[in-house]
Amino acid sequence: MAQGSRPERVADLVRAELGELLARRVNDPGVGFVTLTRVQVTPDLQHARVYFTTLGDDDQREQSRRALERATPFLRRQIGQRLTLKRTPRLTFHFDESIGHQERVEQLLEELQISPSTHTGENDDEDQEHDE
């Protein structure tokens, strides 16, 4: 059995349970439209970093983060009751910056794309001849 498999399985379970709880049991309007993107659990299963994204600007992001922090004791209790673990991991919520980075990379790639009119493919045969 791979060393990382247990933390990965626990992370998947925590993410699924948190998603269910946020959708059905957390009534704080400050949470907003939150999507859990991933959960990382430490090898000792004591700590879970929960990454999320949300619709809106930086203010909405901060409001959602604060609402998630307010809900953390409730969420942790529920996770403890729903999962059969010796200890319930401590939950911390972090905005997932990787989504923004991905969007920025995609934007840059679109800006760098060469339009079909500027590249006719005329030199493709010559390039192949030089490669041989």
* Predicted TM-score of the model (pTM): 0.71
pLDDT, mean over the chain: 83
Does a structural domain hold residue 117?
Answer: no
pLDDT of residue 125: 53
- Identify the CATH number of the domain in which residue 62 sits: 3.30.300.20
Residue 123 lies in a domain: no
Give first-to-last CA distance, the chain, whole Å.
48
Share of the chain above pLDDT 70, in %: 75
Q: Which residue has the higher pLDDT, 56 or 51?
A: 51
Q: Cβ(54)–Cβ(32) under 8 Å? A: yes
How many Cα atoms are found within 13 Å in the side-chain-facing hemisphere of 101?
4
Q: Please name the amino acid found at residue 59.
A: D
Residue 106, domain member (yes or no):
no
Report the number of distinct structural domains present in the chain.
1
- Of the CA atoms within 13 Å of residue 113, those in its CB half-sphere come to 9
Is the torsion defined by CA of 62, 67, 68, 72 positive or negative?
Answer: positive
Displacement of CA 18 from its chain's centroid (Å): 13
For the chain, strand residue ranges (E) read 34-41, 47-54, 90-95
Q: What is the mean pLDDT of residues 31-41?
A: 92
pLDDT exceeds cutoff 50 at 1: no
pLDDT digits (tens, 9 = 90+) for 77-107: 999 999 989 999 999 999 998 766 566 666 7
Examine residue 126 and state whether it is found in any structural domain, yes or no. Answer: no
Is 29 part of a structural domain of the chain? Answer: yes
Domain that residue 16 falls in? 5-99
Helix axes 58-82, 5-24, angle to 10 degrees: 110
| Confidence tier at 13 by pLDDT (50, 70, 90) | very high
Mean pLDDT of the 56-81 span: 93
The dihedral region occupied by 42, where left means phi > 0, alpha psi between -120 and 50, and beta the remainder, is: beta
In a domain, 42, yes or no: yes
Residue 30 belongs to a domain? yes
118, part of any domain = no
